[in-house]
Amino acid sequence: MKPSDSNKNDIILKEHVYDGIQEYDQKLPNWWLFTLYITIVWFVFAWVAYYQLPFKMPTPHEKIDSQMALIENKKQEELETMMASINNESLQEMSLDMDHTASGQAIFEAKCIACHGQDLSAMMGGIKLPGVALIDDEWLYGAEPLNIMEIVTNGSPDVTKGMIAWNTQLSPAEIAQVVAYILSKQS
Amino acid sequence: MTSDSPNSKKVTIEFDDQITRWFMVASIGWGVVAMLVGVLIAFQLNFWQMNGKFFEVITFGYFQTDGIQYLTFGRLRPLHTNAAIFAFVGNMMFAGVYYSTQRLCLTRMFSDKLSKIHFWGWQSIIVFAAITLPAGLTRGKEYAELIWPINIMVVVIWVVFALNFFLTLKIRREKSLYVALWFYIATIITVAMLYIVNHLQIPTSLTHAYPVFAGVQDALVQWWYGHNAVAFFLTTPILGIMYYFLPKAANRPVYSYRLSIVHFWSLVFIYIWAGPHHLLNTALPQWLQMLGVFFSLMLWAPSWGGMLNGLLTLRGAWDKLRTEPVIKFFVVGITFYGMSTFEGPLLSIPTVSALAHYTDWIIGHVHSGTLGWNGFMAAGMFYWLAPRLWGKKLWSTNLANMHFWIGLVGILLYVSSLWFAGIIQGLMLNETDATGTRVVNEFVQTVDKISLLMLVRAVGGTLYLVGFVLLVVNIWKTARSGAPVNETREVFEDPAMKKDAMTWKAAFRNEPIALTFWGLFFGILWFFLPPGASHMALLVTLGFVAYAVIQFKKNTQSWSSWYDNLSENYLPFSVLVLIAVVLGGAIQIIPTVTVNRAMNVEDRLQSVYTPLELAGRDIYISEGCYNCHSQMIRTLVPDVLRYGDYSRLGESIYDHPFQWGSKRTGPDLAREGGKRSDSWHYLHMRNPRMNPGSRMPAYPWLFQKETKFKDLPAKVAVQQRLGVPFPIMTPEEIEQHAREQALGIAEGLVAEQVKIEVPKGEKEPGNEAEARDHLAGKEIIAIIAYLQKLGSFEEVVPDDAPEKIEPRIFKPGIPDKQRVKAPSAPAVTSLPDVQPTLATQP
């Protein structure tokens, strides 16, 4: 039976039988066909727009580079503003302020106790943790509050043997609070 | 096949149903194992104690351990995926293929002996896999973890299967090939191609080899394989099974023959191209990512064609949905197929992928495919087959219904909890503070947040397993109450039947093929020609498309009779399938693997590993760290804020195999090196709970097992053959170098007063030197060396401004504007001296 011979709305049942299975030969659903066509047209359109038209779209790398440049600038500004407003004395004062030390403690417990211990002794259940004790009188990189601030911000000179830089995770204000908390624990 | 042909003679066939029974029982048995392991590893994600410590409880404290190496998530997850894919679905597929092929060809299988070799070969492969994977013998590539001797077995057994199948087609008594057979043909051909290419490797020992591809090349080949393992191992054979068993069970004609044709050919052609959507926003060249995205979108309709042909076949038989468990399973299975093939293109949109990739959403997505589509199609088929294979009614329809409902609730809990988990975790990972300059949540906090959802997933999986156990009982009871039956059938054979009579010329030199060929030819030129010429190529392609449409309208009759004729000729048909599935992979992979590697580094070149670091890397792979940790920082702000500068192509160029990963249950490690101290890693591997809330298993055995320094010369030699610029060293020098570096790290750790564990009965080290010598040989030192190396690179200064490079004709990857030309990789002449790492801290 030729398709053209039959009425368009007739459903064709193919004669052939495979192990009892027969097949209709229904028209393809239009919405299905259009889904297929639209995705193909979209591919051609997008590829041409992206690669083969004169204007240049930014690549993912260019995009991320410019986004990160903005973020770096912002962070630098933030740090400069903060550093202009604090000094050794103001950090010492913060260490007497319960509001600051409480926030500092919360941050310390989330980020620092893995290496420095809950009680700042760098010991956990008799095992020496990777960090140094923060309650003895020994300061490897200077005992002034700003020295401590520097180490928390940028990490120790050789990270594989010491402190990591926290400026990627903590804002300067938060770092100051952590420093205040540590100072408040000094006897 | 009718009896009215004058010369036909009556023959009696006894079908080989024994082989179907075997494969079916094997599938059910391995299915239970695969799901059991799945449930265990799901609970491991909530309770780290499930990685072995639970032995302390069940032996009442007799057996003291923090973890058992054979039971960690990293080693068992590959066992789960391989068992589910190759053992459960694999055996199910073979059961369905052997049963339906014999009936669609009206002949017994070509050779019972080949069938038996196939069965026993496949089961022994699975047994070897079940032994080697927990033992930590792995290739470190997902769904391709099995080691090289097993790979060879797989290839041999697959060829046996292929031979048996194609020779059965050759001796068939049915003139033309039914659509189910098209799907089986595509499966056999494509899986062979994918498997062989992704398993090219050079052995270093009987149990270890390095893949020939590295870095981006390995990533591309792996996901071409991984994606199409889903396509051609978990989809096409099951579609074939659907086309046979669904009309049989519903007793209705298939909805549309032409839909079968269109969706079959579009599916097999388009599927192959979509692999790169597993690598969106990574260092993979942009043109490949774009192809992956757009072909994934184009794949939506072809996939739904299969669903439509399944569901619409049930028109007029929907009442059976109430009474027939088989139909219930099929309908829900096909619906899940539709759902996950809609979800797939959705997840391939780069912005969606940015949120969902590396999260549990993807795990949910694959399980809606495997539990919903594969698992329920398998159950429907088993319930339909059991009465026919054992000659007794199904033992209990009620029990089958109960299986259906328990299983369905299980899948829904599983999939929906992971939607939420994935989206919540994705959003939390991306959350920044008010200034937008820092991410606010620690990685471990984001995992904590979804704890409950992960537990719901584990419960969902358990329910699904419970449902499956009901199937085991039901089939067991049915088999016990009946006895194995092999169907015999009388058919009329017409010796004059003209099957396989088409000449190659008739098959290939005709209008539809010619137009498709030229259309594709110019379409490919459109990708690769330089600007200007590419526009011309596109116009010519469009011209061919328009002309083809006109010719098709005009010559519909001759086009369709050519196709009907083609489906009576299995060899030309198979060759066309081969061409359709080769194209996509060839166009993506050949340019990427043939391009000069030095051209492919962007601005950074990975530093070559030292021998000890290489040993550490192999331990990292062997422990399956890549199952939870990626090494690929995407070009996305939250990724860069959290982990550091985005990964460049050159930074994994010497990685055989690549370790970009596909799931983050822990943080990315691409720039882990130098972030923390050696002693931090030492303590953390022993007790990850130093980071409160961590789910990582403890690795106590790394502190006991010795690094295999003796294996290093063979490994370095193979790496050199693969083009990694290791300096020329004698085997003694390699070993010596590794030992010295290990001593340095051990000395630093001893100075930091780390706790040194010695097995019971051995003597404690008496002084620092003894402690150092004890520690230096342990695997933990090698793995620390590797972790500290991650992310180290050399800057590559382009000797030429990128603008000056004119795209050459046919130069692959020309669309990628970010590429810069780099000088050829500098040969490393000597390794950096090992720094004595004795702690110099005051």
Dist. CA B750–CA B728, nearest whole Å? 32
Range of the domain at B776: 603-804
Q: Is residue A91 part of a domain?
A: yes
* CATH code, B713: 1.10.760.10
* Chain B 635-664, residues with CB within 8 Å of chain A CB atoms: 635-637, 640-641, 644, 646
CA angle A32, A34, A40 (to 5 degrees): 110
Q: Is residue A63 part of a domain?
A: no
Range of the domain at A12: 3-51
| CB < 8 Å to B442, chain A | 110-111
Q: Is residue A67 part of a domain?
A: no
Q: Is residue B20 part of a domain?
A: yes
Shortest CA gap B146–chain A (Å): 35
pLDDT at position B209 over 80: yes
Q: Is residue B506 part of a domain?
A: no
By C-alpha distance, the chain B residue nearest A26 is B256
User: Alpha-carbon dihedral of residues B277, B280, B282, B286, nearest 10 degrees?
Assistant: 90
Q: Is residue B532 part of a domain?
A: no
pLDDT at position B833 over 80: no
Which single residue is written with the structure tokens 């950096």? B832
Q: Please indicate if any CB of chain B lies within 8 Å of the CB of A77.
A: no
Lowest mean pLDDT among B59-68, B146-155, B276-285, B374-383: B59-68
Dist. CA B660–CA B282, nearest whole Å? 9
Instruction: Report helix angle B179-198 to B236-250, nearest 10.
Output: 160
Shortest CA gap A10–chain B (Å): 13
Please give the share of chain A, as a percent, with pLDDT higher than 90.
30
What pLDDT is attached to residue B471? 98
- The DSSP line for chain A is --GGGS-TTPPPB-S--BTTB-BBBPPPPHHHHHHHHHHHHHHHHHHHHHHSSSS-PPPHHHHHHHHHHHHHHHHHHHHHHHHHH--HHHHHHHTT-HHHHHHHHHHHHHHTHHHH-TTSSSEETTEEPSS--SSSS--TT-SSHHHHHHHHHH--SSGGGSPPP-TTTS-HHHHHHHHHHHHHT--
> What is the average pLDDT across B674-678?
86
Nearest Cα neighbor of B260 from B181, B204, B362 is B181
A52 against B684, higher pLDDT: B684
Lowest mean pLDDT among A124-133, B86-95, B175-184, B300-309: A124-133
Report the 10 Å Cβ neighbour count for B520.
16
Give the residues across from B663 on adjacent strands: B358
Q: Taking CB atoms and an 8 Å limit, are B435 and A35 in contact across chains?
A: no
Of B469, B492, B515, the position where a domain reaches its end is B492
* Tokens, residue B709: 């320094």
What pLDDT is attached to residue A143? 82
Dist. CA B817–CA B636, nearest whole Å? 18
Shortest CA gap A148–chain B (Å): 17
Q: How far is CA B412 from CA B368, B409, B458, B619, B773, in A?
A: 8, 5, 12, 37, 55
Q: Is residue A74 part of a domain?
A: no
Q: Taking CB atoms and an 8 Å limit, are A169 and B258 in contact across chains?
A: no
By C-alpha distance, the chain B residue nearest A37 is B298
For chains A and B, CB pairs below 8 A equal 182
> What is the average pLDDT across A83-109?
89
* Chain A 150-179, residues with CB within 8 Å of chain B CB atoms: 159-162, 164, 168-171
* CATH code, A169: 1.10.760.10
A95 shares a domain with A46? no
| CB < 8 Å to A21, chain B | 178, 244, 247-248, 253-254
* Tokens, residue B778: 């342990």
By C-alpha distance, the chain A residue nearest B784 is A160
| CB < 8 Å to B637, chain A | 64, 67-68, 71
A90 shares a domain with A24? no
Q: Is residue B551 part of a domain?
A: no
pLDDT at position B123 over 60: yes
pLDDT at position B83 over 90: yes
A87 shares a domain with A20? no
Shortest CA gap B677–chain A (Å): 4
Q: Is residue B579 part of a domain?
A: no
* Chain A 97-136, residues with CB within 8 Å of chain B CB atoms: 110-111, 113-115, 124, 127-130
By C-alpha distance, the chain A residue nearest B298 is A39
Q: Is residue B503 part of a domain?
A: no
By C-alpha distance, the chain A residue nearest B255 is A24
* Chain B 279-308, residues with CB within 8 Å of chain A CB atoms: 281, 286-287, 290, 294-295, 297-298, 300-302, 304-305, 308
B616 shares a domain with B479? no
Shortest CA gap B812–chain A (Å): 14
| CB < 8 Å to A160, chain B | 674, 676-678, 788, 837
pLDDT at position B827 over 60: no
A103 shares a domain with A167? yes
Dist. CA B253–CA B699, nearest whole Å? 58
Q: Taking CB atoms and an 8 Å limit, are B818 and A61 in contact across chains?
A: yes
Torsions phi, psi for B421 (to 5 deg): -55, -45
Q: With beta carbons less than 8 A apart as the criterion, state whether B330 and B376 touch.
A: yes
Total domains in chain A come to 2
pLDDT at position B822 over 50: no
By C-alpha distance, the chain A residue nearest B681 is A130
Q: With beta carbons less than 8 A apart as the criterion, state whether B162 and B188 touch.
A: yes
pLDDT at position B619 over 60: yes
B21 against B531, higher pLDDT: B21
* ipTM of this complex prediction, to 2 decimal places: 0.87
By C-alpha distance, the chain A residue nearest B637 is A64
Q: Please indicate if any CB of chain A lies within 8 Å of the CB of B788.
A: yes
Q: Taking CB atoms and an 8 Å limit, are A36 and B178 in contact across chains?
A: no
Please give the share of chain B, as a percent, with pLDDT higher than 90.
77
Q: Please indicate if any CB of chain B lies within 8 Å of the CB of A139.
A: no
B335 against B527, higher pLDDT: B335
The model carries a pTM of: 0.91
B429 HSE (CA, 13 A, CB side): 29
pLDDT per position as a tens digit, A26-45: 999 999 999 999 999 999 99
| CB < 8 Å to A162, chain B | 677, 841
Q: How far is CA A97 from CA A91, A149, A173, A182, B104, in A?
A: 10, 17, 14, 12, 84
A174 shares a domain with A104? yes
What pLDDT is attached to residue B806? 38
Q: Is residue B673 part of a domain?
A: yes
| CB < 8 Å to B300, chain A | 35, 39
> What is the average pLDDT across B63-67?
88
Mutation choice for A interface testing from B280, B676, B749 by most A CBs within 10 A: B676
pLDDT at position B811 over 90: no
Q: Taking CB atoms and an 8 Å limit, are B680 and A162 in contact across chains?
A: no
Torsions phi, psi for B298 (to 5 deg): -70, -20
Nearest Cα neighbor of B585 from B235, B282, B229 is B229
- The DSSP line for B675-715 is TS-HHHHHHHHH-GGGSTT--PPP-GGGGTSBP-GGGHHHH
pLDDT per position as a tens digit, B396-442: 999 999 999 999 999 999 999 999 999 999 999 999 988 888 888 98
Q: Is residue B819 part of a domain?
A: no
pLDDT at position B567 over 70: yes
Q: Taking CB atoms and an 8 Å limit, are A160 and B788 in contact across chains?
A: yes
Greatest extent of chain B over all pairs of C-alpha atoms, in Å:
103
Dist. CA A176–CA B211, nearest whole Å? 50
What pLDDT is attached to residue B596? 59
By C-alpha distance, the chain A residue nearest B300 is A36
Q: Taking CB atoms and an 8 Å limit, are A164 and B675 in contact across chains?
A: yes
pLDDT at position B447 over 60: yes
Q: Taking CB atoms and an 8 Å limit, are B818 and A62 in contact across chains?
A: yes
B623 shares a domain with B482? no
A166 shares a domain with A104? yes
pLDDT at position B595 over 80: no
A157 shares a domain with A88? yes
Total domains in chain B come to 2
A97 shares a domain with A174? yes
Q: With beta carbons less than 8 A apart as the criterion, state whether A148 and A179 touch.
A: yes
Q: In this complex, which of B258, B295, B531 lies closest to A28 when CB atoms are compared?
A: B258
By C-alpha distance, the chain B residue nearest A57 is B817
| CB < 8 Å to A124, chain B | 690
Q: Taking CB atoms and an 8 Å limit, are B817 and A78 in contact across chains?
A: no
pLDDT at position B814 over 80: no
What pLDDT is attached to residue A161? 67
B196 shares a domain with B340? yes
Report the 10 Å Cβ neighbour count for B153.
16
Which residues make Cβ contacts (< 8 Å) with residue B383, sequence separation at least 6? Answer: B325, B326, B329, B394, B400, B471, B474, B475
Dist. CA B589–CA B279, nearest whole Å? 14
Q: Please indicate if any CB of chain B lies within 8 Å of the CB of A78.
A: yes
pLDDT at position B222 over 50: yes
> What is the average pLDDT across B51-67?
87
pLDDT per position as a tens digit, B710-732: 999 999 999 999 989 899 999 99
pLDDT at position A21 over 50: yes
- The DSSP line for B395-415 is S-HHHHHHHHHHHHHHHHHHH
Classified as helix, coil or strand, B761 is coil
Q: Is residue A28 part of a domain?
A: yes
Q: Please indicate if any CB of chain A lies within 8 Å of the CB of B546.
A: no
Dist. CA B565–CA B557, nearest whole Å? 12
Q: Is B795 exposed, middle or buried (0-12, 13-18, 19+ CB in 10 A)?
A: exposed
pLDDT per position as a tens digit, B767-800: 889 999 999 999 999 999 999 999 988 887 655 4
Dist. CA B753–CA B188, nearest whole Å? 59
Shortest CA gap B361–chain A (Å): 24
Nearest Cα neighbor of B199 from B174, B176, B227, B222 is B222
Confidence of residue B802 (pLDDT cuts 50, 70, 90): very low
What pLDDT is attached to residue B78? 97
What b-and-e string marks burial along B232-251, b requiring 16 or more CB atoms within 10 Å of the CB?
A: bbbbbbbbbbbbbbbbbbbe
Q: Please indicate if any CB of chain B lies within 8 Å of the CB of A140.
A: yes
> What is the average pLDDT across B235-246?
97
* Tokens, residue B817: 């504007």
A150 shares a domain with A95? yes
Q: Please indicate if any CB of chain B lies within 8 Å of the CB of A81.
A: no
| CB < 8 Å to B342, chain A | none
pLDDT per position as a tens digit, A42-95: 999 998 888 777 777 788 888 999 999 999 999 888 888 888 888 888 888 888
Nearest Cα neighbor of B88 from B241, B268, B233, B244 is B233
* Chain B 87-126, residues with CB within 8 Å of chain A CB atoms: 100, 103-104, 106
* Chain A 6-45, residues with CB within 8 Å of chain B CB atoms: 13-14, 16, 18-29, 32-33, 35-36, 39-40, 42-44
Question: What does pLDDT average to over chain B?
Answer: 91
* CATH code, B218: 1.20.210.10
